[in-house]
C-alpha cells in the first residue's frame, strides 16, 4: 500500500520483461549436450563441462516495469543479457572459474541455461565440491578465502540506471557430489536475492525540459555508492560501506516539461531503518535539495523495493507524488527583517501563475507584485504585514515585515524565533511527585512564536546598553552567550521588553509585540508542541542530553534541542513566565493567563529549574519567585501572531 506523498515498501517481485527466446527450450538443451562433449575434447584445461539449469521460483523476481498509473509491476524473468560469474571451493582451495552468458532460456523466461567448464585442478571425479554463482554484480571479485567458509569478498558498485537497465543481483551456492562416471552434467541451484532496490520517480512540473546528471540521498545509512561484501553459503556475513558524495554512475536523465522520468538502483542494506532522508539532484547544472526531509520507520529488507517520488517545479525539489496535482501557494520567506530604505525580494515558489499583493501598514512597508516575486520596500521602523494572494485558488500567504535598526545581534536572535502551531494538550501531571503540577487538565492554545534560546547577556546589553547591576557587581560569570540572570523580577524584564518593542516601532498592546510566554505556552513548547514525543525532559528522557543541571550556567544552545528546535528549556537558567503563580483547576481552558487578582500576586511562575539541581528540570515541574533578582533565573521571549492565518 502506498504511503501518501512519501515512500512505500513493495515486496520485490521485480524487474521488466525483455525478449522471448528464439528456440524451443528442449532444442536448446540438446544443443548444450552436444556442444559440451566437443568442447571437452578440444580444451585440455577443462576436465568436464556441466550445465546449470537456472529456474527462478515465483517469489524471486528479477525485472520490473512501470504501469500507466506509476505502480511497480514485478516479474520473474531471465533475459538474453544475463550472465553468471562462477566460483568453486574444494579441500580448502577456492578458485574463480569464469563469467558465462546465458545460452538460452524458456519461452516464459523462468528458466535459463548456462554452461561452465570445470578445470583439472578441481578433482570432480573423486571429491565433492561447492559451486557458487553471482548474477547481476557490478564490481570486481577481489579474492576467495578457504573452503571452510566458502566466502567470496567483492567490491560492489551501486548500480544506478534506467528502470529497464537494472539486472537484479542474485546468487546461489550448490554442493556437487563426486561423479566417477562423468555422466552427472545438469544441476539446478536455488537462487537468492543479494540486495535491495529503489525506484526514484522524478516529476517535472516546470515549464521547460530538465536534465539530471547527478543525485544522492543524505544521510546514506541505507544507500551508498560502493560496498565491500563477504558472501557465504549462509548469506551476507559482512558489509562495509564506502560512501562518497554522489552517485558517479547516475545516468543522464532528460525529462520534458510536464512529464516524469525514473532512475532505479540497487544496494546492499547496511542499516535497519531508512530514517530521515534528503534527496539532492543536479538539475540543469544546479544542485537542488528537497525542501523538507522525509522520515520513515520502514525496515530495509533484502529482496524488497522502495519507491520514492520527487517533484521539481523549476524552483524547488520536494518529496511526494501528490505535489503533481497540488500547486499550493508557497513563498520563499514568511518573515523578513529590513532597515528603513532597504528593499527585499520574496519569491513565489509554487502557485497557479496569477497573483496580487497588499500591505497592511503602508507607513512601515510597501509591496509591488511581479511575475514570480514581490519586492518589499521598508519605510519606517515598525512591523507590517504583506499579503500575497493566489487569484486562481483564492489562497494567500502573509509575510511579516520587521523594520529594525539592523543591529545584527538583535536581528539574528529575532530571526531564530520558532513558530509553535496552536493545539490542545494535557497540562500538568497527576503523579504525587508533582503536587504543584496537579490536577492535569486540558489546555488549548492559539499559535505563537517563542525564542529558540534563552535571552543572552549580549542580547540584553544590545537592547539596554548595560547588564543587570547585581550580575556585574558580584563574582558571577560574564559571557556574551551565557543566559542573562540577576534581573529584577519584573522591572528589568519589563524595561527590556519595552525597549525591544520600541526599537521595532511596536507598543506592548500590539498583537505582534514581544513579551514573556505564558506558563501554558512555555509548557506546550517545552513538551515539543504538536510534535511532542512525550519526553520527561524537554527533548529527551535522558537529562544529560538536554539539560545543564549541576554547576555553573553554560552558553545557550550547546546541548540537544527538543522536537521544536528549542534549546535549554530544561536546566541552565530557570525561565520566568508572564503568569503569577496559581494552583491549577481541573477545568479545560483556552489561552489561559493568571493576572494580579489571585492570592499569589507579585509571585511569578518559573519553569525549567536551573543549573543548581537536577530536580524539577522536567517539563511538568513549577516553582516561583517573588519580585527581586536571583542568580540562575533568566527568561526567553515570545510573541503573538498578527493573524491566525499568518
Query: Is the backbone peptide bond immediately before 379 cis, with ω within 30 degrees of 0?
Result: no
Using only C-alpha atoms, the chain has a radius of gyration, in whole angstroms, of: 34
Claim to verify: residue 63 and residue 142 sit in the same structural domain: yes
> Residue 519 domain-assigned?
yes
Q: Across the beta sheet with 46-55, what order do the strands follow? A: 104-105, 111-119, 46-55, 186-187
- Distance CA(16)–CA(321), nearest Å, equals 22
Claim to verify: residue 518 and residue 609 sit in the same structural domain: yes
- Pairing, β 441-445 against β 423-427: antiparallel
Q: Is-contact 421 400, C-beta < 8 A?
A: no
Q: Is-contact 20 109, C-beta < 8 A?
A: yes
Q: Is-contact 201 320, C-beta < 8 A?
A: no
- Distance CA(231)–CA(137), nearest Å, equals 12
- Pairing, β 104-105 against β 152-157: unpaired
> pLDDT (tens digit, 9 = 90+) per residue, 392-409?
778 889 998 888 766 777
Separation of CA 323 from chain center: 18
Q: Is-contact 415 406, C-beta < 8 A?
A: no
- Distance CA(431)–CA(441), nearest Å, equals 13
- Distance CA(358)–CA(375), nearest Å, equals 11
> Residue 454 domain-assigned?
yes
Q: Is-contact 343 377, C-beta < 8 A?
A: yes
- Distance CA(626)–CA(600), nearest Å, equals 9
Instruction: Identify which of 563, 559, 579 has the alpha carbon closest to the alpha carbon of residue 454.
Output: 559
Greatest Cα pair distance in the chain:
108
Q: Is-contact 361 385, C-beta < 8 A?
A: yes
Torsion from C-alpha of 450, 451, 453, 454, nearest 10 degrees: -80
Claim to verify: residue 87 and residue 173 sit in the same structural domain: yes
Grid cell digits, residue 7: 515512500
> Residue 297 domain-assigned?
yes
- What is the 3-state composition of the chain as percent helix, strand, coil, each rounded to the nearest 5? 10, 40, 50
Q: Which residues contact 357 (CB under 8 A, 6 or more apart)?
A: 367, 368, 369, 374, 386, 387, 388, 389
Cell 540506471 belongs to residue:
161
> Residue 629 domain-assigned?
yes
> Residue 27 domain-assigned?
yes
Q: Is-contact 616 623, C-beta < 8 A?
A: yes
Q: Is-contact 444 423, C-beta < 8 A?
A: yes
> Residue 622 domain-assigned?
yes
Claim to verify: residue 88 and residue 71 sit in the same structural domain: yes
- Distance CA(624)–CA(295), nearest Å, equals 40
* Domain boundary residue, one of 370, 403, 436: 403
Claim to verify: residue 571 and residue 545 sit in the same structural domain: yes
- Return the DSSP state at 503: H
Which helix (H) or strand (E) covers residue 26, if one does? helix 25-42
Claim to verify: residue 378 and residue 453 sit in the same structural domain: no
Claim to verify: residue 527 and residue 395 sit in the same structural domain: no
- Return the DSSP state at 42: H
Claim to verify: residue 186 and residue 201 sit in the same structural domain: no
**Residue 500 phi/psi, 5° resolution?**
-60, -50
Instruction: Identify which of 229, 311, 221, 317 has the alpha carbon closest to the alpha carbon of residue 272.
Output: 221
- Distance CA(466)–CA(473), nearest Å, equals 12
Claim to verify: residue 304 and residue 346 sit in the same structural domain: no
Claim to verify: residue 182 and residue 213 sit in the same structural domain: no
The low-confidence residues of the chain, meaning pLDDT below 50, are: 1-25, 27-43, 147, 220-224, 244-246, 322-326, 644-646
> pLDDT (tens digit, 9 = 90+) per residue, 583-628?
899 999 999 988 655 556 678 899 987 666 667 789 999 888 877 6
* Domain boundary residue, one of 172, 193, 214: 193
- Cα dist from 46 to 88, 92, 98, 176, 212, whole Å: 14, 20, 12, 17, 48
> Residue 147 domain-assigned?
yes
This prediction has a pTM of 0.46
Query: Is the backbone peptide bond immediately before 439 cis, with ω within 30 degrees of 0?
Result: yes
Claim to verify: residue 298 and residue 349 sit in the same structural domain: no
Provide the pLDDT for residue 364: 87
Burial of 223 (0-12, 13-18, 19+ CB in 10 A): buried
CATH number at residue 580: 3.90.1580.10
CATH number at residue 261: 2.60.40.2630
> pLDDT (tens digit, 9 = 90+) per residue, 154-196?
666 666 666 666 666 788 899 998 887 677 889 999 888 777 7
CATH number at residue 337: 2.60.40.3440
Grid cell digits, residue 598: 489571585
* Domain boundary residue, one of 403, 435, 462: 403
457-464 helix and 408-415 helix, angle to the nearest 10 degrees? 120
Claim to verify: residue 595 and residue 463 sit in the same structural domain: yes
Grid cell digits, residue 54: 537456472
- Pairing, β 514-515 against β 622-626: unpaired
Q: Is-contact 208 257, C-beta < 8 A?
A: yes
Report how many domains make up the chain: 4
> Residue 3 domain-assigned?
no
Cell 514485478 belongs to residue:
74
Bridge partners, 129 (sequence order): 176
Tally Cβ neighbours within 10 Å of residue 359.
21
The range of the structural domain enclosing residue 137 comes to 13-193
Q: Helices in 244-381 by DSSP H: which ranges? A: none
Provide the pLDDT for residue 74: 65
Q: Which residues contact 411 (CB under 8 A, 6 or more apart)?
A: 337, 404
- Return the DSSP state at 435: G
Separation of CA 183 from chain center: 58
Amino acid at each position: 500500500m502506498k504511503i501518501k506523498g512519501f515512500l512505500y515498501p513493495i515486496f520485490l517481485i521485480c524487474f521488466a520483461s525483455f525478449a522471448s527466446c528464439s528456440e524451443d527450450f528442449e532444442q536448446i538443451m540438446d544443443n548444450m549436450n552436444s556442444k559440451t562433449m566437443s568442447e571437452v575434447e578440444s580444451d585440455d584445461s577443462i576436465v568436464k563441462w556441466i550445465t546449470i539449469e537456472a529456474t527462478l521460483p515465483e517469489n524471486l523476481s528479477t525485472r520490473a516495469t512501470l504501469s500507466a498509473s506509476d505502480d511497480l509491476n514485478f516479474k520473474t524473468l531471465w533475459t538474453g543479457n544475463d550472465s553468471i560469474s562462477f566460483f568453486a571451493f574444494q579441500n580448502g582451495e577456492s578458485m574463480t572459474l569464469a563469467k558465462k552468458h546465458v545460452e538460452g532460456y524458456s519461452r516464459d523466461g523462468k528458466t535459463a541455461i548456462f554452461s561452465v567448464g570445470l578445470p583439472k585442478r578441481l578433482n570432480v571425479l573423486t571429491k565433492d565440491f561447492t559451486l557458487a554463482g553471482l548474477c547481476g554484480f557490478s564490481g570486481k571479485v577481489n579474492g576467495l578465502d578457504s573452503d571452510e567458509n566458502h566466502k567470496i569478498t567483492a567490491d560492489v558498485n551501486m548500480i544506478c540506471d534506467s528502470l529497464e537497465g537494472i539486472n537484479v543481483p542474485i546468487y546461489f551456492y550448490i554442493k556437487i557430489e563426486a561423479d566417477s562416471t562423468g555422466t552427472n552434467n545438469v544441476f539446478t541451484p536455488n537462487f537468492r536475492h543479494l540486495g535491495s532496490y529503489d525506484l526514484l520517480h522524478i516529476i517535472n512540473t516546470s515549464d521547460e525540459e530538465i536534465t539530471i546528471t547527478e543525485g544522492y540521498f543524505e544521510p546514506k545509512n541505507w544507500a551508498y555508492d560502493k560496498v565491500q561484501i563477504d558472501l557465504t553459503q549462509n548469506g551476507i556475513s559482512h558489509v562495509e560501506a564506502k560512501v562518497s558524495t554522489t552517485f558517479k554512475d547516475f545516468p543522464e536523465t532528460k525529462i520534458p516539461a510536464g512529464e516524469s522520468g525514473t532512475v532505479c538502483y540497487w544496494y546492499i542494506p547496511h542499516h535497519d531503518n531508512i530514517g530521515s532522508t534528503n534527496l539532492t539532484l543536479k538539475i540543469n547544472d544546479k544542485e537542488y535539495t528537497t525542501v523538507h526531509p522525509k522520515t520513515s520507520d520502514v525496515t530495509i529488507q533484502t529482496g524488497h523495493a522502495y519507491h520514492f517520488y520527487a517533484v521539481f517545479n523549476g524552483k524547488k525539489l520536494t518529496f511526494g507524488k501528490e505535489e503533481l496535482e497540488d500547486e499550493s501557494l508557497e513563498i520563499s520567506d514568511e518573515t523578513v527583517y529590513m532597515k528603513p530604505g532597504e528593499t527585499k525580494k520574496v519569491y513565489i515558489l509554487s502557485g497557479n501563475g496569477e497573483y496580487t499583493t497588499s500591505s497592511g501598514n503602508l507607513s512601515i512597508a510597501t509591496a509591488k507584485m511581479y511575475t514570480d516575486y514581490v519586492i518589499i520596500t521598508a519605510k519606517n521602523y515598525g512591523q507590517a504585514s504583506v499579503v500575497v494572494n493566489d487569484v486562481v485558488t483564492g489562497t494567500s500567504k502573509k509575510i511579516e515585515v520587521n523594520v529594525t535598526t539592523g543591529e545584527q545581534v538583535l536581528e539574528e536572535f529575532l530571526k531564530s524565533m520558532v513558530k509553535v502551531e496552536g493545539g490542545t494538550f494535557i497540562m500538568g501531571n497527576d503523579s504525587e511527585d508533582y503536587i504543584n503540577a496537579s490536577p492535569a487538565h486540558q489546555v488549548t492554545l492559539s499559535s505563537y512564536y517563542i525564542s529558540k534560546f534563552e535571552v543572552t547577556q549580549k542580547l540584553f546589553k544590545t537592547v539596554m546598553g548595560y547588564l543587570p547591576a547585581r550580575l556585574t557587581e558580584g563574582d558571577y560569570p560574564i559571557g556574551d552567550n551565557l543566559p542573562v540572570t540577576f534581573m529584577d523580577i519584573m522591572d528589568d524584564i519589563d524595561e527590556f521588553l519595552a525597549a525591544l518593542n520600541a526599537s521595532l516601532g511596536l507598543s506592548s498592546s500590539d498583537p505582534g509585540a514581544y513579551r514573556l510566554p505564558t506558563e501554558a505556552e512555555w509548557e506546550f513548547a517545552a513538551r515539543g508542541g504538536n510534535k511532542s514525543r512525550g519526553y520527561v525532559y524537554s527533548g529527551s528522557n535522558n537529562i544529560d542530553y538536554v539539560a545543564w543541571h549541576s554547576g555553573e550556567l553554560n552558553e545557550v544552545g550547546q546541548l540537544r534541542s527538543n522536537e521544536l528546535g528549542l534549546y535549554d528549556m530544561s536546566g541552565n537558567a530557570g525561565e520566568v513566565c508572564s503568569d503569577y503563580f496559581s494552583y491549577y483547576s481541573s477545568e479545560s481552558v483556552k489561552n489561559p493567563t493568571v493576572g494580579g487578582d489571585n492570592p499569589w500576586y507579585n509571585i511569578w511562575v518559573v519553569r525549567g529549574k536551573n543549573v543548581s539541581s537536577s530536580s524539577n528540570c522536567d517539563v511538568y515541574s513549577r516553582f516561583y519567585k517573588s519580585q527581586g533578582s536571583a542568580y540562575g533565573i533568566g527568561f526567553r521571549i515570545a510573541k503573538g501572531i498578527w493573524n491566525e492565518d499568518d
